[in-house]
Amino acid sequence: MHEEFTIPSKDFSVAGEASSKIKRILKQLNVPPQRIKQIIVAVFEAEVNVIAHSYGGKVLCDIEQERVLIDVIDTGPGIEDLDLAMTEGWSTATSEVREMGYGAGMGLPNIKKSCDELKIYTKKGDHTHISMRFTL
């Protein structure tokens, strides 16, 4: 099963829409609740990162018999220092984003903790592509 979601830039009113739809699908497929929670935490964090830090992007979700594959691809501007961005509490979020309750610097660390496999391609001035794999 393949699902695709468009994520706009700077519109926090849609934060969580993709992860909520994926959650409903996983529930219908009787995926264990703890596994659903891990997948949804990772997808939500990635959605918020696209909204807060990029020019927009998309979430691609492929649900197979024994695994879930999620790709989150934005349109730029890329992450300047990925190692630093993986540090808990480090954030480049604007004060406006922080005032809305986002931008605590836990997005990428929470994604990493939730996934069985995580690959991140990013280049400053280019885009970011996060690939997450979860076994069922």
What pLDDT was estimated at residue 103? 86
How confident is the model over 50-108, as pLDDT tens digits?
999 999 999 999 999 999 999 999 999 999 999 999 999 989 888 988 888 888 889 99
Containing structural domain, residue 67: 2-135
Question: What is the three-class DSSP state of 12?
Answer: helix
What pLDDT was estimated at residue 100? 84
What pLDDT was estimated at residue 51? 96
- Residue 97 is given by DSSP the state H
Q: Is residue 94 a contact partner of residue 110, using CB atoms and an 8 Å limit?
A: no
| 135, burial (CB in 10 Å: exposed 0-12, middle 13-18, buried 19+) | exposed
Closest CA to 130 of 32, 48, 22, 13: 48
Q: Residue 135 forms beta bridges with which residues?
A: 67
* CB neighbourhood size of 84 (10 A): 12
What pLDDT was estimated at residue 127? 96
Give CA–CA dist 130/64, Å, rounded.
Answer: 19
Q: Does an H or E element contain 105, and which?
A: none
What pLDDT was estimated at residue 94? 85
What pLDDT was estimated at residue 101? 85
Q: Domain of 117: which CATH number?
A: 3.30.565.10
pTM of structure: 0.94
Per-residue exposure over 3-13, b if at least 16 CB sit within 10 Å of its own CB, e if not: eebebeeeebe
What pLDDT was estimated at residue 105? 87
What pLDDT was estimated at residue 47? 96
How confident is the model over 16-58, as pLDDT tens digits?
999 999 999 999 999 999 999 999 999 999 999 999 999 999 9
- Give the total number of structural domains in the chain: 1
* CB neighbourhood size of 98 (10 A): 14
Question: What is the three-class DSSP state of 22?
Answer: helix
